[in-house]
Chains A and B, each alone.
Chain A
Amino acid sequence: MSFETPSRRERELLARLLGSDKPEVTCEECFEHLDRYVDLQLAGTDADAALPGFRAHLENCPACHEDYESLRSLLGA
């Protein structure tokens, strides 16, 4: 079976539909560790190494990503 190369819109659509298949934390775990993740980032520490699966969840969950962006923006304001 062959298909045409997906357009940019289709790639974005598929990315939203399928998300990432990397191991990820849950929404509850994301909220629990959100403050630590952001403080580690602001301190210049490797937050992704300290909290595996956190970034994958942010990529997959728009609401948690918004919460993360809000805290980052507030602390960076």
Chain B
Amino acid sequence: MHGLASSSLAWSTHARRAARRIDPWPGSDSVVLPVVPSIPANSDEARRAVTEAGIDVESTAWLRRLRAQAPERDDAIRELRDLLLRAARFEVNRRRASLPHLRGEDYDDLAEQSANDALLAVLGKLDGYRGDSRFTTWAYKFALLEAAVKLRRRAWQGREIPADDDHWALIADSSATPDQQARSTELMRAVSAAIAGELTSHQRRVLVALTLQDVPIDVLADRLQTSRGAIYKTLHDARRKLRKALLQKGLLVAAGDVAAGDVAAGEGELR
């Protein structure tokens, strides 16, 4: 664990050094930065805030520079944007296999857009940074999220979300032999019946899309014109109803936790 922490610190140090070498970031003309309250560098106010918050020195320096006057603030924003771009490129490269039809410049565009959007988010939420983590860790998560959401949406661009009315086709094991299918059908038919009979149409749609059709939650939220949080709440409610129905049918034992792993009969989860 300590090795990982050390390597991450080394990485961020390297990234900062590299960031100082780069030219002003591309696309800057098109980005409108939010107004960040300015605290003069090395002011009593800045030092007092740091002391009271107990934020580490490196993160404190980021905050101070991002709240300083130009040109110090401009330099800090440039370095921050470079860090965010590196994080976005990292995420794009990780997920490249899921979008084989894209060209090289498409990946670059996605990373650049993600870095720009993340920069706006970070600067806009700067006062919300409480020092619970290193500043760079806090900032990275915005770049990773922006890139991940853009990539998931791009992967589903032009694709319809399949209907949920034939969820049995997704549950049944078409690769199983007739004998295997006959043995498993009774249990899985009960699960399917509970999905069909116990859930509202919205709950069924969300549950089937997220758990059986592998639709990303933010893509589904977009299509249903709601938020990721609202979709997850629906999934949570659907799971609770499904679990309750299976408990009442004697298929699950009380306080069973299927996701924990043991669901085989006789192991405490499924009867």
Contacts and interface: CB of A to CB of B under 8 A. Distances in A.
Interface string B25-53: 00000000000000000000000000000
Given A13-B171, A36-B132, A27 B264 contact: no
Nearest to B138: A35
B268 interface: no
Contacts of B155: none
Q: How large is the interface on A (under 10, 10 to 19, 20 to 34, 35 or more residues)?
A: 35 or more
B187 interface: yes
B163 interface: no
Contacts of A9: 173
A25 to B, nearest CB: 10
A27 B232 CA distance: 7
A20 B263 CA distance: 12
Interface string A55-68: 00001111100110
A52 interface: no
B212 interface: yes
Contacts of B217: 27, 61-63
Contacts of B263: 6, 11, 14-15
B157 interface: no
B216 interface: yes
Interface in B53-77: none
A38 B1 contact: no
Interface residues of B, number: 67
Interface string A32-50: 0111101101111000000
B133 A75 contact: no
Contact of B2 (A38, A44, A66, A74): A44
B271 interface: yes
B12 to A, nearest CB: 8
Interface string B202-233: 00000100111000111000000000110011
A9 B239 CA distance: 19
Nearest to A63: B217
B133 A38 contact: yes
A32 B168 CA distance: 37
Interface of A: 1-7, 9-11, 13-22, 26-28, 31, 33-36, 38-39, 41-44, 59-63, 66-67, 70-71, 73-77
Given A3-B187, A3-B270, 9 more contacts: A1-B251, A7-B184, A18-B242, A19-B235, A26-B229, A33-B132, A63-B218, A74-B90, A76-B7
14 contacts: A3-B265, A3-B271, A4-B265, A6-B270, A11-B258, A13-B188, A14-B270, A35-B133, A38-B133, A39-B133, A70-B94, A71-B140, A74-B87, A77-B7
Interface of B: 1-2, 4-5, 7-8, 11, 87, 90-91, 94, 132-134, 137-138, 140-141, 144-145, 148, 152, 171, 173, 176, 180, 183-184, 186-188, 191, 195, 207, 210-212, 216-218, 228-229, 232-233, 235-236, 239-240, 242-243, 246, 249-251, 255-261, 263-266, 270-271
